[in-house]
Amino acid sequence: MTQSRTHNCNELRLANAGEKVTLVGWFENIRKVSKNLGFVILRDFYGTTQLVIETEEMMAIIDSLNKETTISATGIVRERSSKNKDLPTGEIEVVPEKIEILGKCRYNALPFEITKSTEADENTRLKYRYLDLRNPEVKKNIVIRSQIVSELRNAMIAHGFLEITTPILTASSPEGARDYLVPARNHPGKFYALPQAPQQFKQLLMTAGFDKYFQIAPCFRDEDARADRSPGEFYQMDMEMAFASQEDIFAVIEDVLPPIFAKYGVYKTASKAPFVRIPYREAMDKYGSDKPDLRIDLVLQDATSVMADCGFEPFKDKVVKAVVVDKFNATRKQIDAMIADVEVTTAQKAYWFRVDENGEFVGGISKFLAARKQAVIEALGLKNGDFVGLAAGDLLTAQKTAGVFRKLLGAAAEGHMDKEKYEFCWIVDFPMYEIGEESGELEFCHNPFSMPKGGMEALKTQDPLDILAYQYDLVVNGVELSSGAIRNHDHEIMIEAFKLVRLGEEDVKAKFPAMYNAFCYGAPPHGGIAPGVDRMVMLILGKDAIRDVIAFPMNKNAQDLMMGAPAEVTPKQLEEDHIAIVMPE
């Protein structure tokens, strides 16, 4: 060992009995029996060891300490009379001859008990994150994250990828989210932006002649927090390949990720190559989501033909989607709670009815369907005991609402969800364009740099809403892990693609000058993907919140409570950066 210790607190075993050792760590706790007998738990990064205090002199030192003080203890290892089989060091104890204070904890009361920090208020945990991380259960997540990142890096290098870092200070670019801006002191009135992703740089590396690139890349987006998305910054395993097809990208990811999920995951089974490929429109029609959880065996059915004119007003002239679950014996209270959850998630109402053991429709909207019972049974393939969840609206609304209902039913109904595995799939053939909800005009559906299927001919001859893109999402257990695409590397096709969203060649030159110019010098076909590291580790460890797997996360309001960021700066700093603050009224 290095430093002042001979062993760490997880290292000593019965074979070490009789040795003189020095341990260092945090004074975690004491069970005091008398004025000259007590049992101290000493904790370091690696584990814990029991110290036995057997003299008044040693006890006086311990009595003077607050918990979490760091100490050095030198003494003799001996066999414990009362062994703890649950601890690696549970067969031994150390009787200290010397205790030295290394770093005193000046506070008698801690913000929370270290080993129970996960039970504390979240803001308190974030403010005292350095204490929260002393909890072995919390620390373990960060250790495993480091191991996972190391395995990702090694796997990518083994596939022939070069790790290349790209700039953090760059130009603002319209990539979907808000940029974080950085004032350029030597260029008054101008700003750098923190990259939302290394998208343009990695494509430029392909045009520069690099064949395979990757990096564990920091990305910065000024957007709100979610359970599976950290506000402000996050990391992704960014990769790009030259002269590559969609299947080439898939092959790398299918080889790299499943072994890591299977090795470190809470579930020990992960999909093997090839992952299921599902076209976007099929996913929406079958699962009501472009990130379907394939552990659930339920699918959506179309009930429009037999229900749109049944006399139930919310169904009138609407698309109606159904989810059929066999023998779902939920109570009315449970069903009502599920209906409420659907509405909270989608802002849309959901409906239901049941087929009883006599073949009669009961509950929910059953009275509106009584006159056409046989037609409904035949259309949906119903059996006695089936539960039917329903959603209505325009096509997309009905699909999405029924998709949420499907997930809730799959989790609640017995036998319809195999939870103990990682189920991967690719969602492919995304639409190139869509009508924007706010603008009402044609917009790119996903990545504007994706190659349209059919190339220039498709752009010139097809209805834009019918054009598909070489765009794909990687989904695992109903969570989008990554988006990727085969890129539009032809500057003429790029110009034509942007024309459809009302941006001319001069606009493209102005917004993406480096890429436009680089593509004019002969770019290779290329493509890539960037699985989110934080989200990946969250899934692997089975955590519900992404903050659990980040060493120093922000809160939901993008505040670092520990460091006090964001914070005001001095007038001098503002003056140097040529910035005047205008506060909102």
Q: Is the pLDDT of residue 581 over 60?
A: yes
Q: What is the pLDDT of residues 352-371, one digit of tens each?
A: 999 999 999 999 999 999 99
With CA atoms as reference, report the closest residue to 477 among 170, 304, 114, 228. 228
By CB atoms closer than 10 A (0-12, 13-18, 19+), residue 81 is exposed
Question: Among 91-95, 220-224, 318-322, 405-409, where is mean pLDDT lowest?
Answer: 220-224
- The structure's pTM equals 0.91
Do 246 and 301 fall into the same domain? no
Q: What are phi and psi for residue 464, nearest 5 degrees?
A: -55, -35
**Confidence band (pLDDT; 50, 70, 90) for 175?**
low
Do 74 and 165 fall into the same domain? no
Instruction: Specify if 121 maps to a domain.
Output: no
Do 89 and 148 fall into the same domain? no
**For the chain, give me the number of helices (H) and strands (E)?**
17, 22
pLDDT for residue 439 = 86
Strands 162-163, 48-53: parallel, antiparallel or unpaired by DSSP?
Answer: unpaired
Q: What is the pLDDT of residues 50-75, one digit of tens each?
A: 999 999 999 999 999 999 999 999 99
Instruction: Specify if 302 maps to a domain.
Output: yes
Instruction: Specify if 517 maps to a domain.
Output: no
Instruction: Specify if 514 maps to a domain.
Output: no
Do 259 and 141 fall into the same domain? yes
Q: Is the pLDDT of residue 463 over 50?
A: yes
Q: What is the pLDDT of residues 109-137, one digit of tens each?
A: 999 999 999 999 999 999 999 999 999 99
* CB 253, CB 238: distance < 8 Å: no
Quote the percentage of the chain above a pLDDT of 70. Answer: 99
Q: Is the pLDDT of residue 3 over 70?
A: no
pLDDT for residue 536 = 96
Q: What are phi and psi for residue 193, nearest 5 degrees?
A: -130, 145
**Confidence band (pLDDT; 50, 70, 90) for 1?**
very low
What CATH code is carried by the domain that includes residue 69?
Answer: 2.40.50.140
Do 253 and 313 fall into the same domain? no
Which helix (H) or strand (E) segment holds residue 301: the answer is: strand 300-302
pLDDT for residue 253 = 98
Tokens coding 525: 């076909």
Q: Is the pLDDT of residue 2 over 60?
A: no
Q: Is the pLDDT of residue 228 over 90?
A: no
Q: Is the pLDDT of residue 395 over 60?
A: yes
Instruction: Specify if 466 maps to a domain.
Output: no
pLDDT for residue 261 = 96
Three-state DSSP state, 153: helix
pLDDT for residue 227 = 65
pLDDT for residue 25 = 97
User: For the chain, what is the radius of gyration of the CA atoms?
Assistant: 30
Q: Is the pLDDT of residue 176 over 70?
A: no
Which of 365, 385, 412 is where one domain is finished? 412
Do 97 and 161 fall into the same domain? no
Q: How far apart are CA 206 and CA 529, in angstroms?
A: 14
End-to-end CA distance of the chain: 60
Q: What is the pLDDT of residues 480-502, one digit of tens each?
A: 999 999 999 998 999 999 999 99
Do 94 and 141 fall into the same domain? no
Instruction: Specify if 169 maps to a domain.
Output: yes
Q: What is the pLDDT of residues 526-552, one digit of tens each?
A: 999 999 999 999 999 999 889 999 999
Do 342 and 392 fall into the same domain? yes
pLDDT for residue 159 = 98
Mean of pLDDT values over 288-314: 96
Q: Which domain holds residue 247?
A: 133-263+473-480+524-585
Q: How many domains does the chain have?
A: 3
Mean of pLDDT values over 8-33: 96
Instruction: Specify if 371 maps to a domain.
Output: yes
The angle at the Cα of 20, spanning 15 to 26, to the nearest 5 degrees, equals: 95
Do 240 and 167 fall into the same domain? yes
Q: What is the pLDDT of residues 315-340, one digit of tens each?
A: 999 999 999 999 888 899 999 999 99
Q: What's the order of all strands across the beta sheet hosting 351-355?
A: 300-302, 319-325, 387-393, 351-355, 361-362
Do 175 and 255 fall into the same domain? yes
Do 71 and 150 fall into the same domain? no
Q: Is the pLDDT of residue 218 over 70?
A: yes
Q: How far apart are CA 431 and CA 353, in angstroms?
A: 35
Q: What are phi and psi for residue 302, nearest 5 degrees?
A: -90, 125
Mean of pLDDT values over 74-102: 95
